Amino acid sequence: MAIKKSKMFSLKVAPEELSTWHDLAKSHGITLAELIRQRLADTQPANHPIPKSHFSPPAVDEKLIFQVAAIGNNLNQIARRCNSGEKVAILQELVAIEQSLAELVELAKAGDLKCT
């Protein structure tokens, strides 16, 4: 028994893309809707595999990650104290952030951070 399809969505594509998709569907003897369903379900026609993405995120130095995490932690502490009414302690946290940023800049200038 066929599954009832009651939902619809639209998609903007370039005219050339739509033409290519229509031609591909026709060459496989299926409708454009079925071609798109197959592609989205990763059950593509046998003669036309979907190319896999070769994207990989850039390598980032662990020192940089640690420094950014420390700065984020300080910002979270500031937000928590602001919300609880501890205004005086905020200055100490801002000084700590300034120091963290200065250390990060110095590490970058020294060439000890690598972000490729």
Total residue length of the chain: 116
Taking only the tens place, the pLDDT of each residue in 69-81 is 988 888 888 778 7
Phi, psi of 59 (to 5 degrees): -75, 140
In whole angstroms, what is the distance from residue 45 CA to residue 67 CA?
48
Taking only the tens place, the pLDDT of each residue in 41-67 is 765 555 665 556 556 667 778 888 888
Phi, psi of 43 (to 5 degrees): -120, 60
Q: What is the pLDDT of residue 59?
A: 79
Q: What is the pLDDT of residue 86?
A: 67
Q: Which of 58, 42, 41, 59 is nearest to 50 (CA)?
A: 42
